Amino acid sequence: MTKKKPRIETQLIHAGEPRPLICGAVSLPIFQSSTFEYAGQDSYHDLKYIRLNNTPNHVAVGEKLAAVEGAEAALATASGMAAISAVLLGLLKSGDRLLAQECLYGGTHDFITQDLPSFGIEVDFIDADRPETWQAKLTPTTRLIYVETITNPLMQVGDLLAVPAFARENGLVSVIDNTFASPFNFRPPEHGYDLSLHSGTKYLNGHSDIVAGAVVGKNDLVERITRTLNHLGGALDPHACFLLHRGLKTLAVRMARQNDSALLIARFLEGHPKVVRVNYPGLESHPAFERARHLFAGASGMISFEVDGGVAAADRFIDACTLPISAPSLGGVESLITRPATTSHAGMAPEERRRLGISDSLIRLSVGLEAAEDLIEDFTQALRAA
């Protein structure tokens, strides 16, 4: 009899846990030790040392992350940007090019356009919704294709199944930043992606109390990237490993609730006369609604929208909200609200923001775990003030 693979809810609790339990401890202890007794290792990368990403807390959280995305291996990193930079520096060398989706996370966009060129690595941007245009951007030295599951802040969903297919046909490594969906809603390795990346700061940990990241995917690639990360020094501290590990155990219940609440709130906003536009892949009005419904368990907890009256009205609305905190970042238990033009996309030239469709009055909401009814009541009164 073949043993059936447990569902993600079960993997989040049990995968990666040490058996037998260490001294019977039901919760994996924190191994607060920088170095470990020499055990005859003959490779530098096998010495047990926090920076080498192989202490018991790293191993356990790595196994859990791999299991929940249905991948061979995973690596926890010191931040989402540590994961992204280690992947790109580990897999690309001077003379190589990559294809990347337009409208990337700001830090990723800046790393690709400002830091990678000094290593001799150049980018060609693609429209992730139009695979028929990708071939024209390929060069003999293109090595990698990079996309995001749901883009920030417009919540676009590109042709996510075309990416791994295109990568296979053209000998590229396919990489996706899966932060906005989380493995509860979408598991890229199951759809043929070579690597999936996360800012663990967001949904994976879910409590807005650490910065962390993850690289999930094929064994050989994760091993190569671990070696690069070992040299760059972006290891996750054991205490943060413990918190990420603890946060992961509740990912499924958090994400299911955040999916449901965000859909209720997106529908409320769409029906409100003072709201002129709502971007949420769970709404029938979203251009990729069918694609998202087919690929995702839920459309996640991120919504963006515009209120009538421009920037002044947007600021009045944010000021009048009493529950969501006005702060960047996302994916925590508390709702957060921002105006991307002044936070996540402040570094982008105004013309570039306009070209991508990010208006200065756009509001971005990360739906937390408050009662959806309370959030809707709060938005009702804040829209009156806007």
Ligand X SMILES: *Cc1c(COP(=O)(O)O)cnc(C)c1O
**Residues acting as catalytic residues:** 51, 105, 177, 202
* Cα–Cα separations (whole angstroms), residue 303 to 32, 59, 163, 293, 376: 39, 34, 24, 16, 13
> Nearer Cβ to ligand X, position 259 or 383?
259
- Look at residues 338, 336, 340 and name the one whose alpha carbon lies nearest to residue 356: 340
Within its chain, how far is the Cα of 24 from the centroid?
A: 34
Of 64, 97, 202, 345, the one binding ligand X by CB under 6 A: 202
Q: Does 92 interact with ligand X (rule: CB under 6 A)? A: no
Q: What angle do CA 359, 362, 364 make, to 5 degrees?
A: 140
Query: Measured between alpha carbons, how far is 307 from 118 in angstroms, rounded to an integer?
Result: 42
Q: Does 96 interact with ligand X (rule: CB under 6 A)? A: no
Find residue 217's DSSP bridge partners.
73, 195
Tokens at 87, concatenated: 């992947």
| Binding mask of the shown chain, residues 101 to 140, with x at each position contacting ligand X by CB under 6 A | ----x-xx--------------------------------
Query: Measured between alpha carbons, how far is 29 from 215 in angstroms, rounded to an integer?
Result: 23
Phi, psi for 277 (deg, rounded to 5): -160, 135
Q: Does 213 interact with ligand X (rule: CB under 6 A)? A: yes
> Nearer Cβ to ligand X, position 99 or 275?
99
> Nearer Cβ to ligand X, position 108 or 208?
108
Binding segment for ligand X among 21-29, 194-202, 296-304, 335-343 (CB under 6 A)?
A: 194-202
Q: Does 152 interact with ligand X (rule: CB under 6 A)? A: yes
- Give least dist CB 51 to ligand X, A: 18
> Nearer Cβ to ligand X, position 186 or 383?
186
- Give least dist CB 331 to ligand X, A: 8
Q: Per CB under 6 A, which of residues 66..85 are in contact with ligand X? A: 79-81
- Give least dist CB 146 to ligand X, A: 11
Q: Does 211 interact with ligand X (rule: CB under 6 A)? A: yes
Binding segment for ligand X among 52-60, 95-103, 199-207, 296-304 (CB under 6 A)?
A: 199-207
- Give least dist CB 161 to ligand X, A: 20
Q: Is the dihedral of CA 285, 291, 296, 297 positive or negative?
A: positive
- Look at residues 302, 255, 267 and name the one whose alpha carbon lies nearest to residue 151: 302
> Nearer Cβ to ligand X, position 81 or 235?
81
- Give least dist CB 168 to ligand X, A: 24
Q: Does 186 interact with ligand X (rule: CB under 6 A)? A: no
Q: Does 201 interact with ligand X (rule: CB under 6 A)? A: yes
> Nearer Cβ to ligand X, position 152 or 196?
152
The residue assigned the tokens 């979408």 is 186
- Give least dist CB 4 to ligand X, A: 33
- Give least dist CB 43 to ligand X, A: 29
Show Cβ contacts of residue 161 under 8 Å, excluding neighbours closer than 6 positions. Answer: 191, 295
- Look at residues 260, 286, 268 and name the one whose alpha carbon lies nearest to residue 368: 260
* Cα–Cα separations (whole angstroms), residue 89 to 4, 196, 211: 37, 16, 21
Neighbour count for residue 34 (Cβ, 10 Å): 11
Task: Give contact residues for ligand X (rule: CB under 6 A).
Answer: 79-81, 105, 107-108, 148, 152, 177, 179-180, 199, 201-202, 211, 213
